[in-house]
Amino acid sequence: MSDPFANTARTLQDPGARHAILSADESADLDPMPRAIFCLEAGTITLRDETGADVAYALDAGMLLPFRPTRVVAISGGSFVGWS
């Protein structure tokens, strides 16, 4: 499959090129760090930012959270995907 954008640098405004189901891990940072979080099933995801602050986000299915967390601290009753 040809990619007409293969030689173009990606920016944060561009769509993601990878996706991964997120799971909570209190001891490991996300690698790669996602560009955004998409909610597959409603629930709450607690994310850590680059300063070490944790915030819980209650999301409904289909919601997009345009945030780049360093770590997923906890997930309660939902399913989430990281786009990078």
Say which amino acid occupies 13: Q
Distances in Å between the Cα of 63 and the Cα atoms of 3, 20, 39 are 28, 16, 5
pLDDT tens track for 45-63? 999 999 999 999 999 999 9
- Does 10 have pLDDT greater than 90? no
Q: How far apart are CA 29 and CA 50, in angstroms?
A: 10
How much is the pLDDT for 1? 76
Q: Residue 4 pLDDT more than 90?
A: no
What is the C-alpha to C-alpha distance for residues 64 and 1, in angstroms, rounded to an integer?
28
Does the pLDDT of residue 44 top 80, yes or no? Answer: yes
C-alpha distances (whole Å) from 26 to each of 23, 47, 55 are 10, 10, 13
18-29 residue pLDDT tens: 999 999 999 999
